[in-house]
Amino acid sequence: MFVVALAMVAAGALLVVLLRAALVAGVDDAASAQAAQVAGQMHDDGLAGLNDFLPDSVERGQSVQVVDAVGRVVGRSAPSLRSTPLSSLRPARGETVLQTLPTVAGQREAGPFRLLATGIEAKGQPYTVLVLSPLGAADETTAALVRYLLIGGPLFVLLVGLATWVLLGRTLRPVTRLRAGVQAITPGTLDSRVPVPRSADEVAQLALSTNRMLDRLHAGQLAQRRFVADASHELRSPLATLLAGLEVAGADPTGDAWRELARPLLEEGRRMQRLVADLLVLATVDERGTTPTTAVDVDLDDIVAAEGTRLRIAQPGLQVSASWTPARVRGDRAALRRMVGALVENAGRHARHAVRLTLEIEADEAVLTVDDDGPGIALADRERVFERFVRLEESRSRAEGGSGLGLAIAAEVARRHGGTVSVATAELGGARFEVRLPVQTEPPERPTQP
């Protein structure tokens, strides 16, 4: 409202000034035309008949005098016009001077007046033509405009303010509903959504973006709850086994139970240790996001070679083959080692006789494949297998199925390093896990190992 009022005042003042200037310019033009007529008459006839010519030629309200070089009035437009010159201005031939006079002696009309003085020459003698024009009409027109603006301006500002209030109220009403909807959402009601206006404007887009954000928050909350529930469920079993074994051993006064239960209790402790380590890895990945915070150049082929050797030692009954091309990537060395280790452990757990590791360079990507000759993974389970705490039907037992976090860790680490993990059918008949990571630098030449 204040800005509209200020703009209205500025525009009104400018309009008044421009109108006043236009009206005065019109008066000046009329006076100049009158002076030109007088000059033409005197050029043709001199002073003869001037007093008869002037009354018939001047416009209403104008007063005209012709003054000679010594200041005598030699011609005037009306007998009542005094014989004293209207002004002492004596411009040179061809020059014109304009003045605004507040009052002029002998004039019946009130001022102000506009005086035009033009220097002419007739029959070789210099003269001055004085044209006096009242500015009363211009002042009345300007005053009328000011009155109209004083009356219409506030009404216009009021109408603009009312229209603005109505339009803004209609525009902001969906925003108010959107704000109320957002305020009503609590951590326990993240499944609620804010109302979306029917209009396809920015407010509707904001509501849609808010609902999409709520979808992501709700999905994250559900994933977190599921993660906590799954972790609690996984930890409950080894803890129950440990507690039961300790109670049995503690109740045996002979000490024989300690010797019998030491090995299974140790296995349960190690399994719980691996589970907690996997949970910490996933928590670290979730906290740091998708970009590694401690990125260094990592020789991926060294990790592949080390994990292949580790699997041979851990499971000597498996035929483990590994071949690689030197490949260097940029990332977190420990996380990349955990990714490769998780895939190798999974292959070793499900393989019947053989596991094959292959690392190659394709275009600007390092491609790692881990094949086994196990039962493979059904097409319907190839997306679900990378979810946390997922065990397929053929590996439901905890002794064989692990914690269900290894493949989830591998997928998260690959995604964090700008890569992907996918699963297909291997040439060996089982599952093939393929990891693609962007190559950071060109590695030095090394011989390919069998």
Return d(Cα 9, Cα 404) in angstroms, integer. 75
**CB contact at 8 A, 91 and 119:** yes
Return d(Cα 396, Cα 74) in angstroms, integer. 129
DSSP string, 268-304: HHHHHHHHHHHHHHHHHHHHHTTS-SS-EEEEHHHHH
Domains in the chain with CATH codes? 2-140 (3.30.450.20), 202-287 (1.10.287.130), 292-441 (3.30.565.10)
Q: Can you tell me which residue has the tokens 């139970």?
A: 257
Return d(Cα 332, Cα 413) in angstroms, integer. 9
Return d(Cα 410, Cα 16) in angstroms, integer. 79
pLDDT of the residue at 319 = 93
pLDDT of the residue at 326 = 92
- Interacting residues of 191 by C-beta distance below 8 A, sequence separation 6+: 218
pLDDT of the residue at 100 = 87
Q: Is 317 exposed, middle or buried (0-12, 13-18, 19+ CB in 10 A)?
A: exposed
144, amino acid identity: A
pLDDT of the residue at 292 = 54
pLDDT of the residue at 391 = 63
Secondary structure letter of residue 93 according to DSSP: B
Residue in 286, 239, 287, 311 with CA at minimum distance from that of residue 405 = 286
**CB contact at 8 A, 75 and 47:** yes
Return d(Cα 128, Cα 318) in angstroms, integer. 127
Report strand pairing: 354-362 vs 319-324. Answer: parallel
Q: Which residues of the chain have pLDDT under 70?
A: 1, 49, 52, 56, 82, 106, 230, 233-234, 282, 284-294, 390-404, 441-450
**CB contact at 8 A, 431 and 347:** yes
Question: Coil, strand, or helix at residue 441?
Answer: strand
pLDDT of the residue at 397 = 42
% residues pLDDT > 70 (the chain): 89
Return d(Cα 240, Cα 247) in angstroms, integer. 10
pLDDT of the residue at 203 = 80
> CA 166, 171, 173: angle at the middle one, nearest 5?
95
Return d(Cα 114, Cα 99) in angstroms, integer. 6
Residue in 205, 417, 395 with CA at minimum distance from that of residue 406 = 395
Return d(Cα 169, Cα 163) in angstroms, integer. 10
Return d(Cα 124, Cα 122) in angstroms, integer. 5
